[in-house]
Chain A
């Protein structure tokens, strides 16, 4: 797999019915890098991810994949290039891990085609990459939250796409599982050059794991670029309406945000609220 696919949006606007959620947005996803999208609740970040993965048609503007308009490309072709793990996918009752991961092979299969050696190899590679080989025979509904999330990622990996989008892949996971999932995605990016785009809630994890950080506020692009340039006290104030201190994360050297609430701040450290 060579990650040579390009994706950008041109004056993209998205709406649910009358309500405009994303307005006139231009952004470019850097190929072969990890991009994280952050923003307040209901700012349109998940909607943006859905539109960039062809789940939602723009009201105006375009999403452009490899120079072609995404929404005019055949669904199955797109699904061989671009995978998406939605926020809350549903596992059929009792399904075995190997069978669920096998469903990721659908875009590569013809209507009545039988299961091929290639499919088997892809499933095995996906289980291996997510460290879930030992779970292959278990029922998905018996697994812990962290294991289940790794299995869903394995399903997306079995799809063997060069672009992988994830909508809040760490939600509902405890902190060690969050790190585990993000480390796994970083491995994928470094070892295979998979372009990864994800929506994350946790600003500090978003900044740490991103090569490219996109901050969205009220459906508009607020800032995009290297995390050190994007995650600033001004950005946090303008995007989240929150006063904060941004400092260097001693572990990663990336920026790190500490919120300042109305309580608990020592007087001399408080940045005056303007």
Chain B
């Protein structure tokens, strides 16, 4: 009897999880197709599917195949990368505020890219490289500054928020000093955007997502065990420090490459994990559900940014509007809960 009770509960939780995952997949696919259909010229789903299948459709082949498709794919990849990076930090530090776009890691990438554009006057892949290196360096700096008998979440978050503020002022300073003609390029590194997405960006980001994503997935159970506290995790056979360093590298890698491709799309890293947790319930790893939520957020926000308002806004503006209230809510809730993060 009791075996059945145990199995029944587990099945019930699994059913909810699978239902949520299936719904998310359907929504992502549907939004993806809609993104390819709408624009200055509307193409029916049939044309869109034929272009994806590799057939030549007059007009659609260029507009969908070369303009809309890379944009949509890049959106999905960036959403997945930001979400995985975010949920990893949030899980590891047991705190929704511990997202890389709150604790300064994306700010590191932005500041370095703006510096590269406005001061070093470099362009293209060099900027991306500088951004990736800077994100990793920022993560290391925050880790080292907050390391004292191991890493404690709250300390890391507070130090990260401080670093983020400092980097933001660096960006402001650089922009004030910048030459006018550098501003459009620099703006992309402040507000994430999918404008001008190219296949070469898609290829780079997809390699990063595949490599770091696989690394994270292979560590997903160990990441979940870290939530029990370092001692409990290590008593269960997890090499705590090694696991932590591995998942941090993977998460920062994802964030850095995504930021290099699209700029920091605000709050996707921060929002995806908590939304996914609400949807799938408290069972199993949040990595895959969060990745789907991230992709959906970016696609929907980009659609809204392009077509919902009188003028076109970059995707980061829309996600920023969505994310800011949640941040305020979290801060109020923490404050009520007794002041500690």
Contacts and interface: CB of A to CB of B under 8 A. Distances in A.
Interface in B239-298: 239, 281-283
Nearest to B239: A75
Contact of B6 (A54, A106, A127): A127
B2 A103 contact: no
B282 A96 contact: yes
B237 A76 contact: yes
Contacts of A137: 5, 9, 12
B332 interface: no
Interface string A78-93: 1110111110111111
Main secondary structure of the interface of A (DSSP, over half): mixed
Interface string A150-167: 000000100100000000
Interface of B: 2-3, 5-7, 9-10, 12-13, 94, 149, 218, 221, 224-225, 227-229, 231-232, 234-239, 281-283
Nearest to B9: A137
A55 B231 contact: yes
A107 B237 contact: yes
Given A75-B239, A78-B237, A84-B231, A103 B6 contact: no
Contacts of B229: 86, 88-90
A73 B237 CA distance: 11
B236 A107 contact: yes
A78 B234 CA distance: 10
A42 interface: no
A70 to B, nearest CB: 13
Given A94-B282, A98-B10, A120-B7, A89 B228 contact: yes
Contacts of A106: 221, 225, 236-238
B13 to A, nearest CB: 7
B234 A54 contact: yes
Given A90-B228, A92-B282, A124-B6, A79 B221 contact: no
Contacts of A54: 234
Contacts of B6: 98, 120, 123-124, 127, 133, 136
Nearest to A89: B232
A79 to B, nearest CB: 3
Interface string A34-51: 000000000000000010
